[in-house]
Amino acid sequence: MTYAKTYADWRTDPEKFWMQAAGQIDWIKAPSKALFAGKAPIYEWYRDSLVNTCWNAVDRHVAAGHGARTAIIHDSPITQSLSKITYGELQSRVAKLAGALRARGIEKGDRVVIYMPMVPEALVAMLASARLGAIHSVVFGGFAAHELAVRIDDATPKAIIAASCGIEPGRTVHYKPLVDDAIAQAAHKPEFTVIFQREQEPASLVPGRDFDWAQECADAEPADCVPVEGNHPAYILYTSGTTGSPKGVVRATAGHLVALNWTMKNIYNVEAGDVFWAASDVGWVVGHSYICYAPLIAGCTTIVFEGKPIGTPDAGAFWRVIQDHKVRSFFTAPTALRAIKRDDPKGSLIADYDISSLSALYLAGERADPDTVVWAQDHLKVPVIDHWWQTETGWAIAANPAGIELLPVKIGSPSVPMPGYDVRILDEGGHEVTAGTLGAIAVKLPLPPGTLPTLWNAEARFLRSYLDHFPGYYETGDAGYVDEDGYLYIMARTDDVINVAGHRLSTGAIEEVLAAHPDVAECAVIGVADPLKGQTPLGFLCLNKGTERSHTDVVKECVMRVRDQIGPVAAFKLACIVDRLPKTRSGKILRATMAKIADGEPYKTPATIDDPSVLDEISAALQTIGFPSRGK
């Protein structure tokens, strides 16, 4: 089989392609067909089926006699511990937690917010929700209480499952106090919480509201898998959009199962029993798809790594994990490799480990810069596969499908569209452009199984954000081009989303926090190039007339506010004071021009600018915070 043949097979008969892929899933009631287009442009996959995600990820492997196979390895250099859970043990732990949740009233369709660090219990909580047909919403631990509260109010969960604490290098993350604070801030009050007590910092529990995980599970009657319809939401995952309020990406159950299962062999080239490792976090889509669900659906062993690419204890941590657990396919973000490369430029630590089990390295989450890709190729001596996807899609839009055929790697490109994705490059008027021409990247509808059918409680926003601009297409929000061989190149976002260390952030959300500072009249946030994190946020603050406060104090307070309200993950540390912002005559802030000035790139003064002299003021303000002088 070749990639060209596989893609052509999908194109010729998508229904047949996706029904064949569905054959790998255990159905309670098999779907009569794949695509349900009755509500187009809202498409549904395998709607008339009945299925359970947890059954497919856990129970079916035990039923097939693989209960003794390792399902999860928890490798935690940060707590200096290592543990393994077999599929049999996982089934029993998940069924017990599901039983405990059910006993407290959780039913199919109820929402459960999960706020946990990288411990296996995070996966157990996700799977227990799925077992009951409850809809989980995992919130990344680097978000502050306010962001958690925003998600609680949108998802209106009946329960929150959290750990007492997480451990970051040099500090403890106080998950339980953050949960308490978020519940206090939120208008919606969950009925109860289940707290997984970690020995590093046990939390105090509110009687009648907070329940101890271990005790709940010890007393619980195990619960069976609850059948759900194919279009039943498996989870909601919030991601950054242009405005401050995050978008609740919905993942429908059946398409998620079919698509993720398809990717494991065809993209990641692994089979049941292989060890697969995605060094991400369960709070991100990569963690949902490739730490939790896909490896387990495929019967692989997944690694929950509680550590960092550097400093736990050194830049050899990744290679040690690959050696110790015989990892076959490894997935990380380019920023992690840049961190390793900075500490160990010659890759000397790699030689200390036997990484011969590794067949390929997969990169995603942000643009893979050529230096990093070449460094990894030279030192790891395996194919380095960049692949491009989004929270919205849940799996790769473009990749090099190593399990079908390893195509020639072109550095700077995430290779070619995967079956299911009819990728087009469009100009502003929605017309296709020729090869080599930059444009908006769009995908012809319908999107494949596993991608978002809508946004939680926000169908109008879904249509407005993704479908209205180019009728008949899904607008990815990325700009790029296709070359003569059909390889895609992803160049930039077309909106105000920035990418900091592989984390997607909204400049609009940061601006909302800054604008609320009593001395700030107006502000703008842009992403500037950063050698480690890809981009880093930078704020421009216009202060209220007559403010006599020290500029340094205002900047410090703004930095603290963003950390308190959005969280440390925003990595907001840089801001400067300006008298005014560059705007068009209609009042739109010229963020892209400001970003070019900050990055030292050549820029043209936009024809629509209200007053061109403000650009010199921006340049001068940047110099006050150490940015070199820029010319036009």
- Residue ranges in contact with ligand AMP by CB under 6 A: 239, 285, 364-368, 386-391, 414, 477-478, 490, 493, 499, 504
Which stretches of 454-533 are assigned E, i.e. beta strand? 473-482, 488-493, 497-500, 503-506, 520-530
CA torsion 56→57→60→63, rounded to 10°?
-160
**Rounded-to-integer distance, Cα 307 and Cα 77, Å:** 6
- Binding characters for ligand COA, 360-379, by CB under 6 A (x = yes): ----xx--------------
The dihedrals phi and psi of 490, each to the nearest 5 degrees, come to -100, 120
Residue 131 binds which entry of ligand COA, ligand AMP, none, CB below 5-8 Å type-dependent? none
Does position 190 bind ligand COA by CB under 6 A?
A: no
Does position 309 bind ligand COA by CB under 6 A?
A: yes
Q: Which residues pair with 247 in a beta bridge?
A: 239
Among the residue ranges 45-53, 273-281, 415-423, 604-612, the one whose residues contact ligand COA (CB under 6 A)? 273-281
Residue 320 binds which entry of ligand AMP, ligand COA, none, CB below 5-8 Å type-dependent? none
**Rounded-to-integer distance, Cα 418 and Cα 14, Å:** 12
Among the residue ranges 86-94, 99-107, 220-228, 308-316, the one whose residues contact ligand COA (CB under 6 A)? 308-316
Least spacing, CB of residue 491 vs ligand AMP, in Å: 8
Q: Beta 488-493 vs 473-482: how paired, if at all?
A: antiparallel
Residue carrying the six token digits 């060890």? 275
Site for ligand COA in 526-555 (CB under 6 A): 532
Q: State the number of CA atoms in the 13 A half-sphere of 292 facing the CB.
A: 31
If the CB atoms of residues 214 and 491 are measured against ligand AMP, the closer one turns out to be 491
Does position 310 bind ligand COA by CB under 6 A?
A: yes
DSSP letter, residue 455: B
If the CB atoms of residues 335 and 390 are measured against ligand COA, the closer one turns out to be 335
Residue 482 binds which entry of ligand COA, ligand AMP, none, CB below 5-8 Å type-dependent? none
**Rounded-to-integer distance, Cα 475 and Cα 433, Å:** 15
Does position 166 bind ligand COA by CB under 6 A?
A: yes
Residue 367 binds which entry of ligand AMP, ligand COA, none, CB below 5-8 Å type-dependent? ligand AMP
Question: Residues near 542 by Cβ (< 8 Å), separated by ≥ 6?
Answer: 520, 521, 522, 523, 577, 578, 579, 580, 581
If the CB atoms of residues 173 and 433 are measured against ligand COA, the closer one turns out to be 173
Is there a contact between 443 and 426 (Cβ–Cβ < 8 Å)?
A: no
Which one of residues 254, 333, 513, 614 is an interface residue with ligand COA (CB under 6 A)? 333
**What sign results for the dihedral spanned by CA atoms 241, 129, 501, 364?**
negative
Least spacing, CB of residue 197 vs ligand COA, in Å: 18
If the CB atoms of residues 58 and 569 are measured against ligand COA, the closer one turns out to be 569
Chain centre distance of CA 485: 29
Whether the bond between 41 and the residue before it is cis, its omega within 30 degrees of 0, is: yes
Cα 415 to Cα 102, 187, 405, 627, distances in angstroms: 45, 46, 12, 35
Least spacing, CB of residue 339 vs ligand COA, in Å: 4
If the CB atoms of residues 403 and 477 are measured against ligand AMP, the closer one turns out to be 477
If the CB atoms of residues 143 and 466 are measured against ligand COA, the closer one turns out to be 143
Instruction: Give the CA angle between residues 128, 133, 136 to the nearest 5°.
Output: 65
Among the residue ranges 41-49, 421-429, 442-450, 497-505, the one whose residues contact ligand COA (CB under 6 A)? 497-505
Residue 513 binds which entry of ligand COA, ligand AMP, none, CB below 5-8 Å type-dependent? none
Does position 502 bind ligand COA by CB under 6 A?
A: yes
Least spacing, CB of residue 23 vs ligand COA, in Å: 30
Residue 388 binds which entry of ligand COA, ligand AMP, none, CB below 5-8 Å type-dependent? ligand AMP
Residue 384 binds which entry of ligand COA, ligand AMP, none, CB below 5-8 Å type-dependent? none
Which stretches of 289-445 are assigned E, i.e. beta strand? 301-305, 329-332, 360-363, 384-386, 398-399, 416-417, 423-426, 439-444
Does position 173 bind ligand COA by CB under 6 A?
A: yes
Residues of this chain that interact with ligand COA (CB under 6 A) are: 117, 141-142, 166, 168, 173, 279-281, 284, 286, 308-310, 333, 335-336, 339, 364-365, 501-503, 532, 568-569, 571
